[in-house]
Amino acid sequence: MRNVTPIVSGASAASRPTRSAHVIVLANEKGGSGKTTTAMHVVTALLKAGQRVASIDADCRQKSLTRYVANRRRWAKKTGVRLELPTHHAIERANGSSVDENEAAEFSAFAAIVNEVETCHDFVVVDTPASDSYLMRLAHAMANTLITPMNDSFVDFDVLANVDPESFEVTGTSHYAELVREARRQRRIVEEVETDWIVIRNRVGQFETRNGRNVADGLIDLSRKLNFRIADGFSERVIYRELFPQGLTALDTLDETTLGARSSLSHLAARQEVRQLLDSLKLPVDERGQRRAAARAEWFRASAEPLDSHGLVAD
């Protein structure tokens, strides 16, 4: 597989638009780490903050984020509930006769989407496949913020680094960590910017365990070597899996109208987890978007109330 330099849509850093969207990439070469769930919650949070958000599903095979967005659109139409939706794009899988032909086709599709959305949105959120592919490397090359979810396990930790089986000390970095390191290095050279890399711990147990302490200590050690930040992600809660068919998130109003059932304490706890994670990401949400969100919320509230016809209708 050829190397990828951090140049989007064939334009150099000097020739790119002066205002472009902040790109958030969700990536991990191991499946089942919570990339799509995290991506959808980040998208929804930004939309609720009044930001203009585009989402790109770069997982040509699974298309989990695409289905999540489609479920949300369908559920909003069925229930009549106003649910925020991103401008969504999915990259189709190329089926040419050669690897080079497929990579060229997928690059063209990716570049066309980025060209379309990067100057008219505040954020672009990219969900990537759980494999080392050309599209996955392209996404890393353009990330302003890179989020790597991982389960609280040394099976997931192995994607980032190797550890001593007795002391659990980090003995070397793994293939994915090296991929990220190279993508960040190239981006510094070409665009003179640093990708903010955050590793989030998902499925952390409610009670502290020896395994959990060892994973946490290993991440702290590794973060110093690779210059990434650590954040707490989502606990092992059924709610995150239950909401997918309706396209809902823990940040939505989960009442009988929206969810079809009353919200529970688990819903509230999940919402608090998501908010804490979003705070730790430190995304550049602008004030103009926040004002748009406040104005939109006021309009929704006012439109739900009956029109006051006093003084408008003659006696």
How many whole angstroms separate alpha carbon 28 and alpha carbon 35?
A: 8
| pLDDT (average), residues 37-41 | 96
Asked whether 21 and 121 are in contact (CB, 8 A), the reply is yes
CA-CA distance, 87 to 53, in Å (whole number)? Answer: 6
What is the domain partition of the chain in residue ranges?
A: 22-287
Give the residue, 183 or 262, on which the prediction is more confident. Answer: 183
Whether residue 157 contacts residue 38, with contact meaning beta carbons closer than 8 Å, is answered with no
Q: What is the pLDDT of residue 314?
A: 45
The overall average pLDDT reported for the chain is 84
Q: pLDDT: is 214 or 148 the higher one? A: 148
First to last CA, the chain: 79
Counting residues of the chain whose pLDDT is more than 70, the rounded percentage is 84
Torsion angle of C-alpha atoms 41, 224, 1, 54, degrees rounded to 10: 20
User: Which pLDDT score is estimated for 133?
Assistant: 81
* Segment 82-96 mean pLDDT: 91
CA distance linking residue 75 with residue 251, whole number of Å: 16
State the Cα angle at 29 between 149 and 201, rounded to 5°. 15
Phi/psi for 171 (5° steps) reads: -110, -15
The residue type found at 74 is: R
Which CATH superfamily groups domain 22-287?
P-loop containing nucleotide triphosphate hydrolases (3.40.50.300)
Query: What is the pLDDT averaged over residues 181-206?
Result: 87
Answer yes or no: is pLDDT of 309 > 60: no
> Could you tell me the two tokens for 51?
């930001």
35 Cβ partners below 8 Å, 6+ apart?
26, 27, 28, 127, 128, 130, 149
Tell whether the model's pLDDT for residue 196 goes beyond 90: yes
- pTM attached to this predicted model: 0.84
pLDDT score of 92:
86
Handedness of CA 43, 291, 194, 120 (dihedral sign): positive
